[in-house]
Chain A
Amino acid sequence: MSAPFIWIFLPLMIGGFSLLIGRERLATMVGGATAVILTAAALIVPIDEALGFGSFSLKIASSYQILGRNLTLDSAEAPLLAILFGVAGLWFLGAESVGVARRLTPFGLIIISLLVASIAVQPFLYAALLIELSVLAAIPLLLPSNQAPGRGVIRFLIYQTLGMPFILIAGWLSAGVEASPGDLSLTVQSTMMLGLGFAFLLAVFPLYNWIPLLMEECSPYVVGFLLWLLPTVTSILGMSFLDRYAWLRTSDQVIGALRVGGLLMVVTGGIWTAFQRHLGRMMAFAAVTETGLILLSLSLNPATGLPIVFLLLMPRGLGLAVWALSLSVLDSNSESLRFSSVQGMARTHPLAATGLIMSALSTAAFPLLAGFPPRLALWNGLAQRSLNDSFWLLVGILGLAAGAVRMLAVLVMAREETPWASRESWAQRGMLGIGMIGLLVLGLFPQAANPILDRLPLMFQHLGH
């Protein structure tokens, strides 16, 4: 038994088999149970250490060899596995309430296992190929068989596919730079390739136009799932590059590019959020801002920045889940997610409206909500380096806050005679309630996640020490 078998091949097989499931409830149970069991296993089962059961002993090996290369998941990666499968479990459990469980469970499990494989593969630069495979698996997740592909899906496919070759070539060139550090032209070429690759994969400004289109065309819940998972794992790949190559993490130009790219995403994402008239597009731009925050954190000194990146992960996953679930509830009860269609829906769907406002405020660093502690830490780190940068972060966050206030205004703008009622189903109420409590708990007690987050930097040999 090996760790890659448990956290890669097992969910991959379960995902494959669950394509045959025809009932929403069963699909939810399979997806949720798989994710919960794998989360518990990541927290409890030691890797590369003998487990004794009476006279028997069992050892989970960390490596699995495939075609001459290794898939390795050691104990340093266990906290990340717990976060990925734990948050994915929340998404799977909420899928039935919005009617996408039969798609999300199988394809979600396949995608997450491919992305875990991308974290495990050695050498790590092959991860780009596995990320591309997960993108391909995302297409049937985004499009049910009765829906024509729109421009968003096509652009998503094109941009993510174009990212892969750049990363692969950059990985090859980086090894050359490491061998001959004085070769300036090779360094420039490698940095350019890497920058373009990550710009496509992370949808860095201005390559993020597919995100709002996708939010308009497809189920907000499945798009939200992808907007949480893909940038998270791609960021880990980016950190692996920084960790592996000393010339990259010590380069002022690379750090500057991360800073500028991050600020552009935060500022443009925040400002566009403030001016949208479609709730889905608002979430899209908020997700862009979140990715910008990760880039900004990476531009800080690793000792400060790395813990902030990890601190951002859980609020991002939880916030997007609550936001997407709330949107899906409103979407299924209105013509569209345009302001004109959802106006006054807080009276008929108060929990969904509250979930929407809470997650938007959490993204806008509202105190006592999950997004506040990491943003405060980031702001502090930025302010120590440059007041200009912290000002632009403020601009982006004010944009998000303005968007949240507009959203609130539209949702409560009902006719006087409209009675208050809660038309959400019990499952929707339950999942929204759990999500909102999670946002509050992570905001009030951010240290609750410390036992997991403290061990995450150990994944990286140089960045984490």
Chain B
Amino acid sequence: MLATIVSWTVVAGLLVTSSGLLLYQDWRWGIGFLAGQYAGVFWLVLQHWPLGMAAAKLVGGWMATASLGMTLLGLPQPHEPVEKYWTQGRTFRLFMVGMAALLAATAATGVEVMLPGTGIPVAVGGILLIATGLLQLGMTSQVLRVLLGLLTTLSGFEILYAAMEGSGLVAALLVVVNLGLGLVGAYLLTVSPEEKTQ
């Protein structure tokens, strides 16, 4: 019972972090929300994986986040430009997050049927992150935002996949993929002159 309450609290936390990632354009907020999101992912993955494997996911996610954060910190002007073509209205983005949350709430039972034993909070958390990550990817072509979107989408997938597959090799490879995305993101940020200067 307590675990379920904690899981729902974590899902609420994921709603806050994923909304924050969409709403705030300042990179510091983005990095902070991503780090918090990985803590939530850790808890939901822990429902199906042993502590060691779930902790590896948390550490891998935080390392990816740190690599992005450290890179942005080292750039001359690491503040984010306001993107010309990004839908600016916060209300619109909030509405889209609401739609994603609605989608997660309605689709979770279907996922639970498809993957018996997943647990509704785990399914909601996974779908929510996938949906908000895809929203992020669809709204921008900015390198940092795209990376945040990809990491969020993958986090959602990993929550659901943990209920299906418990292989150590898969866990290790997924951690390496997350780290790789973080490093590739760091590389892309350092070679993006327009993001440094604006």
Interface residues of A (CB under 8 A from B): 66-69, 121, 126, 129-130, 132-133, 136-137, 139-140, 143-149, 151, 153-154, 157-158, 161-162, 164-165, 168-169, 172, 186, 189
Contacts and interface: CB of A to CB of B under 8 A. Distances in A.
Contact of A129 (B160, B173, B183): B173
A115 B111 CA distance: 32
18 contacts: A67-B172, A69-B169, A121-B169, A126-B173, A136-B180, A139-B184, A143-B188, A148-B191, A148-B192, A148-B193, A153-B188, A157-B150, A158-B137, A158-B150, A161-B150, A165-B154, A168-B161, A172-B164
A148 B164 contact: no
Chain A's interface: helix, strand, loop or mixed, by majority?
A: helix
B72 to A, nearest CB: 15
Nearest to A171: B165
B192 A169 contact: no
B76 interface: no
B177 interface: yes
Interface residues of B, number: 33
Nearest to A70: B169
Contacts of A144: 191
A130 B188 contact: no
A149 B169 contact: no
B55 interface: no
Contacts of B191: 143-149
Which among B154, B168, B173 has the greatest number of chain A C-beta atoms within 10 A? B173
Contacts of A168: 157, 161, 165, 170
Given A136-B181, A146-B191, A189-B114, A154 B143 contact: yes
B1 to A, nearest CB: 30
A162 B137 CA distance: 11
Interface string B95-137: 0000000000000000000100000000000000000000001
Contacts of A133: 173, 176-177, 180
Nearest to B187: A140
A157 B146 CA distance: 9
A189 B107 CA distance: 14
A121 B169 CA distance: 10
A157 to B, nearest CB: 7
Contacts of B77: none
B143 A69 contact: no
Contact of A161 (B154, B172, B188, B192): B154
Nearest to B151: A161
A154 B146 contact: yes
B174 interface: yes
Contacts, number: 86
A129 B184 contact: no
A463 to B, nearest CB: 26
B19 interface: no
Contacts of B161: 165, 168-169, 172
Contact of A136 (B174, B184, B194): B184
A143 B187 CA distance: 9
A149 B114 contact: no
Nearest to A66: B169
Q: A-B pairs with the 4 shortest C-beta distances?
A: A136-B180, A129-B173, A165-B157, A67-B169
Nearest to B183: A136
B111 to A, nearest CB: 11
Contacts of B187: 139-140, 143
Contacts of B169: 66-69, 121, 126
B172 to A, nearest CB: 6
Contacts of A69: 167, 169
A36 to B, nearest CB: 29
A80 B97 CA distance: 47
B170 A126 contact: yes
B160 to A, nearest CB: 8
Which among A126, A130, A148, A164 has the greatest number of chain B C-beta atoms within 10 A? A148
Contact of B141 (A129, A139, A151, A162): A151
B9 interface: no
B153 interface: yes
A11 to B, nearest CB: 18
B168 A67 contact: yes
B48 to A, nearest CB: 13
A391 to B, nearest CB: 37
A111 B138 CA distance: 28
Nearest to A69: B169
A424 B165 CA distance: 54
B180 to A, nearest CB: 4
A66 B169 CA distance: 7
A69 B168 CA distance: 9
Given A161-B181, A172-B165, 20 more contacts: A66-B169, A68-B168, A68-B169, A69-B167, A126-B169, A126-B170, A132-B177, A133-B173, A133-B180, A136-B180, A137-B180, A140-B184, A146-B191, A148-B193, A149-B188, A153-B188, A154-B141, A154-B146, A165-B161, A168-B170
B4 interface: no
Contacts of B173: 126, 129-130, 133
